[in-house]
Homo-oligomer: A and B are copies of this chain.
Amino acid sequence: MTTPAINSWQSVQDEVLRRIHNRIWKPGAQIPNETDLAKEFNCGRTTVNRALRELAESGILERKRKSGTRVALHPVSRAVIAVQIVRREIEDRGANYGYALIDKTVDTPPHAVTFAMELAQAEDMLHVRAVHLADGVPYALEYRWISLRTVPQARDFDFVRQSANEWLLENVPYNRATLSILATPASPFEQEYLAVPEQTSILHVERATWQETGPVTFVTISYQPGHRIISSTTS
């Protein structure tokens, strides 16, 4: 029996996970403190700390000062979704990316958008609608509002060659973001530009971003029917 040597934070993590999976340490049970584990594994406490800290961040362990570390009873596992520009998403699938601006206007956003951007009062914003194509076929729709107060320079950009999606990411930093995933029947706009029949079920990703000075943008990306958001789960 050859046990792999424990000398890196990853091997400590592996050993801890092995003990949890093999129920040597059962859900809800307390595990030894960092100092003792460091002695047992013959490594520094810092190394043990890093291994356990990551497991606590991913919800497998619960840690409290003084009372110690326990195996979580109802682990909240954290699924991680990579949010990137639509062009990359399409290119990562091995398809040719295409983009077409539908329209660009200045208008008053609907109440739901004002609310999502955490504004007390409606104000005129830049409204951009566009379609992203994979191998010439509509892949996703972009329905976007951009705050002209926070991003006045957006008014002069035409969004014909480059999507608002990319232009904003490259040119306008943000501090804080929210993301929300939901399903709705296809709106007339989606029926037309995604070329789908009435009552089709559409997956949406809504995203809003802010700077210190105020809201930057609110966008809904609507995907073709059948689209899946796939996550890599930690540990």
Is A202 interfacial (CB 8 A cutoff)?
yes
Q: How far is the CB of A31 from chain B (nearest CB, A)?
A: 15
Known contacts: A78-B83, A173-B21. The answer to whether A201 contacts B184 by CB under 8 A is yes
A162-210 residues at the B interface, CB under 8 angstroms:
166, 169-170, 173-185, 199-203
User: Does any Cβ of B come within 8 Å of A75's Cβ?
Assistant: yes
- State whether A181 touches B181 (Cβ < 8 A): yes
Contact between B199 and A199 (Cβ–Cβ < 8 Å)?
A: yes
Contact of A75 among B59, B76, B169 (CB under 8 A): B169
On whether A230 and B178 interact (CB within 8 A), knowing A21-B173, A23-B173, A185-B199, the answer reads yes
The complex places the Cα of A176 from the Cα of B233 at a distance, in Å, of 8
Q: Kindly provide the distance from the CB of A29 to the nearest chain B CB, expressed in whole angstroms.
A: 13
- Are A233 and B178 neighbours in the complex by a CB distance under 8 Å? yes
Residues of B within 8 A of A212 (CB): 21
Residues of B within 8 A of A122 (CB): none
Residues of B contacting A112 with CB < 8 Å? none
Tell me the number of copies of this protein: 2
**Chain A residues touching B, range:** 35 or more
Which residues of the other chain, B, contact A20 by a CB distance below 8 angstroms?
Answer: 173
Question: What's the nearest-Cβ distance from chain B to residue A213, in Å?
Answer: 11
Interface string of A96-139 (1 = CB under 8 A from B): 00000000000000000000000000000000000000000000
Flag whether A5 is at the interface (Cβ < 8 A): no
Interface residues of A in 62-77 (CB under 8 A from B): 73-77
Find A76's partner among B76, B77, B82, B231 (CB 8 Å cutoff). Answer: B82
- Extra contacts, 18 of them, besides A81-B231, A183-B227 (Cβ < 8 A), are A21-B211, A21-B212, A73-B170, A74-B85, A76-B82, A76-B83, A78-B81, A80-B81, A81-B81, A179-B230, A180-B231, A181-B228, A181-B231, A182-B203, A182-B227, A183-B183, A183-B184, A185-B200
Identify the A interface with B (CB < 8 A): 20-21, 23, 27, 59, 73-85, 88, 166, 169-170, 173-185, 199-203, 211-212, 225-231, 233
